[in-house]
A and B are shown apart, each in its own frame.
Chain A
Amino acid sequence: QMQLQESGPGLVKPSQTLSLTCTVSGGSFSRGGYYWSWIRQHPGKGLEWIGYIAYSGTTYYNPSLKSRGAISIDTSKDQFSLNLSSVTAADTAVYYCARVRATTSAYFDYWGQGTLITVSS
């Protein structure tokens, strides 16, 4: 059974860079046909897709991030990471990592439990 687990600082100061890591276990991280993605949920709000990375390293980011996001992958550790620069209080949210099955369609079939990130001085 595939499992994803987010890890991060919990609290980040405004203007700093938020760094999150997602560790994948219980499945083949290197199989084709999958992307690895980040999603966030602001307190009491809906879901916002942040972006994805393919095993090859190809990335796509939601333009709503205004070029502040960077997703990387470490295949040796079965991990992928999100760096979000110049954070503000508006980046306070629960951050989820997820696997995207990308065949004829794309859908998020495995999710991490989520980690709350608070941006505050």
Chain B
Amino acid sequence: IQMTQSPSSLSASVGDRVTITCRASQSISNYLNWYQEKPGKAPKLLIYAASNLQSGVPSRFSGSGSGTDFTLTISSLQPEDLATYYCQQTYSTPWTFGQGTKVEIK
């Protein structure tokens, strides 16, 4: 299953609402996860099963969608959100990731 994220990169100001989209090549129900990768660090789980916030993750992060179209929203962008964000499907093996969306701070 191919996962396509858009945009590939974005630049936004602190406090902005940021939305990242992930589209699956076939229906994956809600088997969709989001990860945050900061420079030089391992990826960190943000959202699992499309809309469930992982423990310890700030509430400004939220996820939605089902079937083929999903979104990750950062309600108020913070400087520490500088990172690359990946979606991942675990509906069927081989599990696959999107190509990533790089978020920069203006």
Contacts and interface: CB of A to CB of B under 8 A. Distances in A.
Interface residues of A, number: 20
Interface in B54-106: 54, 86, 88, 90, 93-100
A96 B43 CA distance: 9
A21 B93 CA distance: 23
Contacts of B99: 46
B60 to A, nearest CB: 20
Nearest to B44: A111
A89 interface: no
B98 A46 contact: yes
A47 B90 contact: no
B43 A108 contact: yes
Contact of B94 (A63, A96, A106): A63
A60 B43 contact: no
Contacts of A64: 94
Contacts of B31: 105-106
A60 B93 CA distance: 8
Interface in A94-118: 96, 101, 104-109, 111-114
Interface of B: 30-31, 33, 35, 41-45, 48-49, 54, 86, 88, 90, 93-100
A-B CB proximity, top 3 nearest:
A107-B48, A106-B90, A111-B42
Interface of A: 46-49, 60, 62-64, 96, 101, 104-109, 111-114
15 contacts: A46-B86, A46-B98, A47-B43, A47-B86, A49-B97, A60-B93, A63-B94, A96-B43, A105-B30, A105-B31, A105-B33, A106-B90, A107-B48, A109-B54, A111-B43
